[in-house]
Amino acid sequence: MANVTYDKNCLTVLDHPLVGHKMTILRDESTAPAHFRKLVHELAALEAYEATRDLPTMQVQVKTPICETEGVRLKEDTLAVVPILRAGMGMLEGVLSVVPSAAVGVLGMERDEETHEPHSYYAKMPQGIENRMALVIDPMLATGGSALAAIKYLREAGVKDIRLLVMVAAPEGVAAVNAAEPDVHIWACALDEGLNDAAYIVPGLGDAGDRIFGTV
């Protein structure tokens, strides 16, 4: 494990046999893009379920075929899902499958292969983003540069509650996000050993965007 430090409370690693099973198939280099996309979709849905436990609700009356009773409904306009292009798109439908009413903001970000610095190439946010909880989604948290650039963009747009959902986290990326943004909680399906010389996650799953879109 990489020799970095961060507040352990900033990270939730999903501890569930279904997640472990799906992650193992996801990591397998012989898993084809169609299967890979399906697994990312399923894992993203499980992660979104965990990360939205405290979504604001309101009390409502509902009439069942038997009688009137009390229920809860989600408050409107409180959530935005923010995929980081490209790979984050692979998680989007999975997250929306559990919170279909969420608005979607898109951030285009690509890591320079030499410097590993993110280059931002697109941004489009929904109305009222500053009043929503933002779920930033990206399968890979490696150096943390892309996630931090996304968080910085959202902070400048006035977003207060920012959460980060990834499939695989490197300790280096968790430490970088936690040092710069201690209020951002991270959910991951796996916490890996660290980064190699090319800043790829070890053992990781390779290039998530290439595996989702079949562009290897």
Ligand X SMILES: O=c1cc[nH]c(=O)[nH]1
CA atoms 164, 169, 175, 176: torsion sign: negative
115 assigned to active site: yes
Annotated binding residue 107? no
207 assigned to active site: yes
Q: Which residue has the tokens 């747009």?
A: 157
Annotated binding residue 120? no
The entry of ligand X, Mg ion, ligand PRP, none that residue 94 binds, CB within 5 to 8 Å by partner kind: none
Residue 211 binding ligand PRP, by CB under 6 A: no
31 assigned to active site: no
Residue from 90, 105, 145, 209 in contact with Mg ion (CB under 5 A): 209
- 111, 132, 163, 211: the catalytic one is 111
Residue from 207, 212, 213, 215 in contact with Mg ion (CB under 5 A): 207
d(CA 55, CA 38): 26
Annotated binding residue 144? yes
| Count of residues interacting with ligand X (CB under 6 A) | 9
Closer residue to ligand PRP (CB): 118 or 171: 118
Residue from 82, 140, 148, 175 in contact with ligand X (CB under 6 A): 140
Residue 204 binding ligand X, by CB under 6 A: yes
Annotated binding residue 125? no
Q: 162: which strand partners? A: 134
Residue 90 binding ligand PRP, by CB under 6 A: no
- Which of 65, 200, 212 lies closest to 141 in space, CA to CA? 200
Residue from 86, 96, 161, 206 in contact with ligand PRP (CB under 6 A): 86
Annotated binding residue 65? no
Work out how close the CB of 116 gets to ligand X at its nearest, in angstroms, rounded to a whole number: 8
Residues that bind Mg ion (CB under 5 A): 207, 209
Q: From the annotation, which residues make up the binding site?
A: 86, 111, 138-146, 201, 206-208
Residues belonging to the active site: 111, 115, 207, 210
